[in-house]
Structures are given as structure tokens and as C-alpha cells.
Structure 1
Amino acid sequence: MTLSTGTQVKTYLNYINGKWVSASSNEIAPSVNPANKNEVVGYVQRSSKEDLDLAVEAAKKAQIQWRKLSGAARGEYLYKVANVLEQRLDDIAKTMTEEMGKTFPEAKGETARGIAILRYYAGEGMRKVGDVIPSTDSEALMFTTRVPLGVVGLITPWNFPVAIPIWKMAPALVYGNTVVIKPALETSVTAAKMVECFAEAGLPTGVLNFVTGSGSVIGQGIIDHPDISGISFTGSDQVGKQVAQGAVARGAKYQLEMGGKNPVFVADDADLEQAVDATISGGLRSTGQKCTATSRVIVQSGVYDEFKSKLLAKVREIKVGHGLHAESWMGPCASENQLETVLSYIEKGMAEGATLLHGGKRAEGEGLENGYFVEPTVFEDVYSNMIIAQEEIFGPVLALIKVDTIEQALEIANDVQYGLSASIFTQNIGNMLSFINEMDAGLVRINAESAGVELQAPFGGLKQSSSGSREQGQAAIEFFTAIKTVFVKA
């Protein structure tokens, strides 16, 4: 198995019980560069349920000693992992770009975020885990503490192959759980290199286990496994509901993040240059493949034409190309399947009567012929009942919607099943407060793009975007631990 250049293409193994091991199935799958479908980045294993069972068994055994360590001691391991990841930042970022397509600066930024998350949660090992509660008995002491769930299963997506796994793994580990992680098959090479950092940092045997494979086998196996006490999932709402149903059926704790249809509202008094730049960044960076990406652009009628003109002028300047090329602003869709999905939504938008202002087809040009490139696309004359205004596209498609008032904007913004993130551009305090109070979203941003959240802040959505629990920040302790109340009588 070699590239056309003659370089050997590596097959990445599972990491189980402190060792890199071959899967029992002997099946492998190529990870293809979406910027050049003829280039194989690496091969990953299609593991079997037997491989998953070995990983869970190792995690269950390791958890006995891991939970006995102090939070500070567990945090020290995370500091070591962060240092190793920092040393390998450029290599892992380059692999990420080659494997899923985002530009190299974006990949470096994501990897740096992973380092920061590790250091943040390393510090969490020194924070309080309970409270003293007054007892009605004057001779008793009553307090709460927190205990780990046990073995947790993590199912992570392809769009953030470093940041999302780390923001699940780091709190899970520092709070005393052991981990079995199944990354998306499409980005398992990047994930394997990230796990190598944990191994190099000397994490105790069995504390972290890594199994690659299909969602139908490994993902479903995590959902069904009786020794997995908690499941944290990021992905589609359809699969998320399967996770919830399976977890409820056997009494496991679950956490879901399932996407969004995120609006930005541009009011008449907005700074239009700021709003345009944030709309483009929020909607089109990472080729729109973010759960918090801007999808619907709701613009007040007084500035609609000027905003549209400024937006189109800047969208036309976007350079589409290979993520490793310095001049590329937007890379390819992550896979052929994702490209076809985006193009199908564009066709639906045109069929429903939306007006195509820019883009709408595969990007063409030198160096693009073998990749899954799509043009940044802008529609107008979009109404809330259209498919492109209701369903998550997960691609570089913006839908412009004209309104007269903020009341109309809020009604349209809330008229979807999702409620992840939303932003407003205005100088009016009343508009800001109305948006904050009435917008059905777990993340509301004022005069800032819809995409992104700081790592120390809770992250999650409302409605169908989330199961309700929050990731990141100190809120992560709520999912990865259980409260134990202690009563001590003298």
C-alpha cells in the first residue's frame, strides 16, 4: 500500500490496555485527502465488537486505581499530554488538513485549542468537588463530594478531530473516569496521532483506549455495552436519538450535541463591515462544517441591499483551494458524501424558488479537479418554510432573509427545531436584551459571529441541538461525575 510518490502509507492501530494492537477483523479502510481523492493519508482499522470488548475490559480494570489518584495527580498527566501535543502541533495540524480539508491555520488553531483545554482541565484537578451542608443534628457533619461514573464511551465527529475529543477526554479523565473513544472513521488518522500524545505522556495502562471502526459496529457497541456507564456523543440528531434510546434502555447516562441551524440578525443600526466579516467567517470558514456555523442571515430591510452588496463583494474574493496552500481561504468538503449532501441542498433551494446570488456548484480551476470543492454559495428570497432554512446543511451556504422588525427576526430565528447558537449585530441595547431574552439558543453572541465558544464557558444547545447537559468549562463536571452525599455522626 503505497502512494504514487512511493512513500509507505501507514496503517494506524487501536490503542488498548496501553498497547497499539491490530483489530481482530483484519479489515482496513483508507483515509482519503478530500483535496485530492487520489491521495491516501493513512489506513485505519474497521474493528469488531470483540475489539471494543477488550477496550472496555481494560478501561474497567484500570478505573479501580485511576479513581484512587488525587485530582491533582490526574491533572499532572494532562499537563504532560499538553506538552507533548504542543511539540507535535504542526504535524498533527498538517495531518488534520490533509485528512478533513480545513485550512492549515484553522487546523493549527484547533490543535492549539486542544492544548489549552488539556491545561485548563489539568487545573480542574485542584478545584473543589463538593459542599458542606448544615445538618439538623448538631453533632453530625454532612457534606457532598463527587465520584466518577466509571467507564465512559466517547463518540466524536470528523469536523473537529482534535478539539472535540479532547474537550470530552480531558474532563472525563481528570474527574476519575477511564475512557473508550471511537473517533469518526473519516478522521481517525488525526485522532490516532492525538492519542499517541497521551501514550507518550505515560498515561497509566488502560486509562485511555482508542478503537476505530464504523458507527454501526463500534458506535452501537458503545451504546449497548453494559460496562459503559456514560456516553458523550457529538454528531447528527438522527444518531444522537439512537444514542439516547439505547442509553435509557439500560440506564446509562448520556450527553448529546447534535447540531444547529444558526441565525445571525443584522439590525438597521449595525456596523455593516463588522457584520459582513463575521457572517462570512461564521458561515464559510471550515467550509461551513461547524455545528455553530452561520446558516441563516436575517437582515433588517433598511440595510438589506447595502449588506447584500458588501457581503457578495467579499464572498467573490474567497479563494477556494487545498488547505495547505497559503493562498487558500476555504478548503474542500470533508468527503465526497458531504459534497453531494451540500450540492443536493443547493438544488433543493433553487427548486423551492430561492434566488441564487453566488456559487451553487462544484468549484473549478487548477488543482481543484480531484477534490471535493464547492463554491461558497449565497441565496436570497429565502422563506422560513423552505428546506434550506430549516435543515442543517453543514456546508458553505448562506440564506438571506429580509425582515422589517426585530420581532419578525426573532420569530423566524426561532422557527426551527434547533437552538445551538445565534448572534445579533446592533448598537441598540433594547435589541440586544430582546435577543438575549427571547432567542432560543444555548449560545447567544452580540456583535460577534455565531461560531465558536471559549473553552472555559459551558457549551450546548436548546431544543433538538442538545440533550441539555453542557460541555466544556466547569459545567463538564455535571456530566462526568455523580454527587455523593455523606453524613458523619460523631
Structure 2
Amino acid sequence: MQRYQLHIGGREVEPAGGRWLETQNPFTGETWAEIPRGDARDVDRAVQAAHQALTQGPWSEMTATQRGQLLHRLGDLVARDARKLAETEVRDNGKLLAEMLGQLNYIPQWYYYYGGLADKVQGAVLPLDKKGYFSFTRHEPLGVVAAITPWNSPLLLATWKIAPALAAGCTVVIKPSEFTSASTLEFARLFDEAGFPPGVFNVVTGLGDEVGSPLVDHPLVRKISFTGSDTTGRRINEQAARQLKHTAMELGGKSPNIVFEDADLEQAVFGAISGIFAATGQTCIAGSRLLVQDSVHDQVVGKLLDVARTARMGDPMDADTQVGPVTTQPQYRKVLEYLQVATQEGAKVLLGGRAADRPECGKGWFVEPTIFGDVKNSMRIAQEEVFGPVLSIIRFKDEAEAVQIANDVRFGLAAAVWTRDIGRALRMSEKLQAGTVWVNTYRAVSFMAPFGGYKDSGLGRENGIDAIREFLQVKSVWINSGAVSGNPFVLR
């Protein structure tokens, strides 16, 4: 049994209340580690440390180039420890080692990218309409950032926040999910090894009401960057608004994966499998609604079932496993409830539809890869985020109906279009209400490409140049270079 400590001010410290939370391995169902159960006192210690680093410590005196060099060094250390961190994540969240190792091997690119971008943030000289003045803009860090991250891809989604925030000159206090905190606590040690000043990066673990809420409320926190459910995100946004804090919210989706009759159907089927069964469907961009044109509906469904039936479930550490367990017991129960709801509403079970009881699944929290047919877009299974290996197939007649169905949800995070017609691809990419639209692919992300949602899928953008702007504020500077003062009671 491993017992972790909080990471505050460059040191590992025990929680003020002396309490810990057990964390379970989703494959075995057994407790494997203890996570600190922090509280408001720990939050205050961490935020004070971050504020001091921002305003008084060496971090505040560093040039942007020096900050970038530290980020590069951190990227190197993540690359060195990628397998160790990936294995920790698998024990904690049950996702495939192949998936998590792929993420950890890719994560250093974020630190290299934003490390290089740190000293490329430029203001501008303003061509004023008034004579006798010289004016320019500065881009300055917002301040202490509270990052609140989910359990499905802990370090990847944390990195999407941490790398641009630090490149911008902010400091960070992160609260990972209480279900998957171990990898973030191990990751924190690399900041000390990389040479970051104490307080630049802090981790406080614990429950939402005991750590998350005090963190959002803390008067020294100027920005909250959150990834998680829209229900929690809305609550955090309302809480932050009382102090007029900046927020960025990535809140999930109900993404349409649209297959037209002229598509490469083999590739479209593989895209549908990737969209919903990869990561056991526990991704915000899951293609949980498969929209198929009438003329190829039966053909696509037949091919889809043939592939999905071969999905190998089992130990996520095994290289041959394709579908792992659901990460948490509450989420496991939620997915099973949705299976019942779908059948009650009239959806037809084409595959799965129940908890998995295969010998290779052991005592883990497994759900059979599930495909529903005869789904109407008004059904709950088509409107609400299930966050599990559950696919809803919906028919459509033509392009106009595909757009209407695709956009008829309150979410708008991602969408995909499968077609050989470039004109159709361009039309659909314009009409679909989603922050990311893929054409003839699915689940592709990059540190260079902005990511975020429309509608209830959130606020702001992560990744790309847009992300660093989320952590900066613009200041206008005016210098009188010869203007003659006039009436002091009149606007200059």
C-alpha cells in the first residue's frame, strides 16, 4: 500500500487534517494506494505558496526565455519517466497501457511547444488617432490559476492547462480527481527536479466540496480552468462569477459521427469503433451518436457488429486488451442505468447491453461494448453524455437532415464526417456546431490545434496559440510625448 503526500511550496507535506482517501484499481477492484484528503487549510497553504512565487519569488524575476527553458527540461523528464507514469495511470483509472503510454510519450511535446512559445508573446505599438502620445500593449500573467482535472486522462488534460499557464508566467494549484490523483502527485516531483522555484506548481488532492470549492473561492485565485461534467462546470462557473474570476470550461459532449453513402465504409467503421470503444468510451469527444445515411445503414451496421464483436476485454496492462474497465464504481453504475433507460425508451440492443461477466474481466468494473439501433435523437441515450462504451445508431436521409440531427443536442464539442466529396466535407464543417470537426478520421488531437466546445460543451480554448492567451491579460500603456494639456475637465 502506497501513501502519497500533498505537494505544496516545493515540498511533500501531509494534509492538515491527517486524513487519506483510498484509491482502487478498476481492474481488480482492490485498494492500491492512499491519497491525501486535503481541506481548506491545505488549499490556503498552496494558494499562498503560488501567490508568493508569482509576486516575490524567483519565478517573478525570470525572463520568459528562462521559463521556457524550465518547461523544456520538464518535458525531457516526462519523456524519461513516461512508462512509470503511464503504469500509475493504468492502476488508477483502468485505461489501456497502450493508450496511456501513447499519451505520456506525447505529453512532452506540449512542454516543448509552450516552452518555445513563452518568449514569443508580443504586445504592439498602437497607431493612435491622437497626436503627442505614444501607446503600446503588454501581455501579463493573470495570476494564480486553479486547475481542476478529471479522472479519464489525468496527466494529458492537466498538461493542457499547466503548460500554457506556466508559459504565460502564471503559477498553478491543481486539484485532480479524487479517483485518480496518484499520477499527478508523482508528476509534481518532476517540477522540483527540473528546477522550478517552490510554489510555482502545487497539488492539493481531496473531495470537491472540501478542496475544489475552497480553491475556486480563494481570493488570490484569478482563473479557474476546469475539465469535467457540465453540471459541475456550471456550478463552478457560477461560484467563480461571484468574484468576477476568469474561467475556462471543457464540459463534455454528445458528438455525432456522420457516415455518408459515398464514404469509405471500412474506414468509417473503424472510425466509429475508435470514437466510442477506445478508452472504454470515457472521453469527452466520444462519438457516441453514429449517424448513418439510409442507403448504407444496413451495410455499415453489419460491418460495425462484425468488428465490435471481436473486441478483447481484460487486463489493461496486457498489450492485447482493447477494452478496459470503467474507471470508477459510480460511473460503472451510471452506465448500467443508461442501458436500462435505452431499452425502456425503445432502443434495440444490437450488441452487449449489460455488465461484462467474462473470466478475463476478473472482479473489475466492465461493461460489454454496446450498440443500440432504432435510436431516435430525442431519446435520453442520444441526448445525454453516458461516458461509457455505448453507441447509438441514428438514420438520416440527406445532408440537411444529418446537420439537423447532429446539431440537435445541447453539446457541441466535436463531430466527424465520413465522405469522399470535398464540397460536402467543407459544407458540413461549416454547418456543424462543434469546436472540432474531423473529416475521415476521429480522435485526433495536437498541441498545435485549439480545442474546446460550443454551447454546453464549455468556454474558452485549450491547445495551440489560443491557449496561452487564456492565461494573459492585456494592458494598454499611454505615454505623453508632447501633447499639450487642455481643459482638465474634458476627456483627453
TM-score normalised by structure 2 residue count? 0.96
Task: Give the number of equivalent residue pairs.
Answer: 479
Q: Does 1:259 align with 2:274?
A: no
Structure 1: which amino acid aligns with 2:388? G
Task: Report what 1:203 is aligned to.
Answer: 196
- Once the two structures are TM-superposed, the CA of residue 150 in structure 1 deviates from its matched residue by 1.0
Residue identity in the other structure for 2:24: V
Deviation at 1:125?
1.3
- Candidates 351, 354, 372, aligned match of 2:365: 372
5+ residue gaps, structure 2, are 482-492
Tell me if structure 1 keeps the 8 A contact 2:313–2:360.
no
Amino acid at match of 1:446: V
RMSD: 1.1
Q: State the AA in 2 paired with 1:230.
A: K
- The aligned counterpart of 1:25 is 17
Deviates further, 129-138 or 386-395: 129-138
Asked if the contact 2:15–2:37 (Cα under 8 Å) also holds between the matched residues in 1, the reply is: yes
Residue identity matched to 1:456: M
Q: Distance in 2 between matches of 1:201 and 1:10?
A: 24
Matched, 1:424 2:417: yes
Q: Which runs of 5+ in 1 are unaligned?
A: 1-8
- 2:295 aligns with 302
Matching residue of 2:92: 99
Aligned partner of 2:422: which letter? I
Do residues 481 (structure 1) and 488 (structure 2) align?
no
In structure 2, the residue matched to 1:460 is 452
Task: Quote the Cα distance in structure 2 between the aligned partners of 1:177 and 1:186.
Answer: 27
Cα distance between partner residues in 2 of 1:434 and 1:120: 32
Asked if 2 retains the 8 angstrom alpha-carbon contact of 1:67 and 1:177, the reply is no
SS at match of 2:266: helix
How big is each residue's C-alpha offset from its partner over 1:262-305, in whole Å with a ceiling of 9 and x where there is no partner? 00110010000110001101111000000001100000011111
Aligned match for 1:182, one of 157, 172, 175? 175
Matches of 1:105 and 1:141, distance apart in 2: 56
Cα distance, 1:228 vs structure 2 = 0.4
String of CA shifts for 1:284-332, please: whole Å, max 9, x gaps.
Answer: 1000000001100000011111100100000001001111012101110
Q: Take 2:290 and 2:130, find their aligned partners in 1: how far apart are those partners?
A: 59
SS state at 1:407 partner:
helix
Q: Which amino acid aligns with 2:463?
A: Q
The reply on whether 1:192 has 2:189 as its aligned counterpart is no
What is the CA distance between 1:138 and its match in structure 2?
Answer: 5.1
Q: What code does the residue aligned with 1:63 have?
A: L
Matching residue's letter, 2:304: L
1:340-351 to structure 2, matched below 5 A, reads 340-351=333-344
The residue type equivalent to 2:209 in the other structure is S
Query: SS state of the match for residue 202, structure 2?
Result: strand
1:52 to 34, 38, 43: 43
Aligned partners of 2:327, 2:447: CA distance in 1, in Å? Answer: 24
Q: Which residue does the alignment assign to 1:5?
A: none
Displacement, 1:474? 0.6
5 Å-filtered alignment, 1:163-242, equals: 163-242=156-235
Is contact 1:292–1:452 with CA below 8 Å preserved after alignment?
A: no
CA deviations over 1:123-155 (Å, ceiling 9, x no partner): 111213212221234554322110011111110
Alignment equivalent of 1:472, drawn from 463, 479, 487: 463
Report deviation, 1:465: 0.2
Q: 2:27 matched to which residue of 1?
A: 35
Find out whether 1:360 has 2:358 as its counterpart. Answer: no
Deviation at 1:366, TM superposition (A): 2.0
Match of 1:283?
A: 276
CA contact (8 A) 1:333 1:372 kept: yes
1:445 aligns with 2:438: yes
Deviation at 1:437, TM superposition (A): 1.6
Measured in 2, the distance between the counterparts of 1:76 and 1:63 equals 18
Q: How many angstroms does 1:177 deviate by? A: 0.7
* In 2: Cα distance, 1:114 partner to 1:267 partner: 34
* Counterpart Cα distance in 1 of 2:324 and 2:362: 13
Correspondence for 1:120: 113
Alignment match, 1:332: 325
What is the aligned partner in structure 1 of residue 149 from structure 2? Answer: 156
How far is the alpha carbon of 1:478 from its aligned partner? 2.2
Residues 133 and 143 of structure 1 are in contact (CA less than 8 Å); yes or no, is this contact kept in structure 2? yes
Counterpart-to-counterpart distance in 2, 1:236 and 1:129? 35
> CA deviation digits over 1:343-402, x for unaligned, max 9?
111111111010000011111222313100111000000001100000000001110111
The 1-side partners of 2:176 and 2:88 are apart by 15
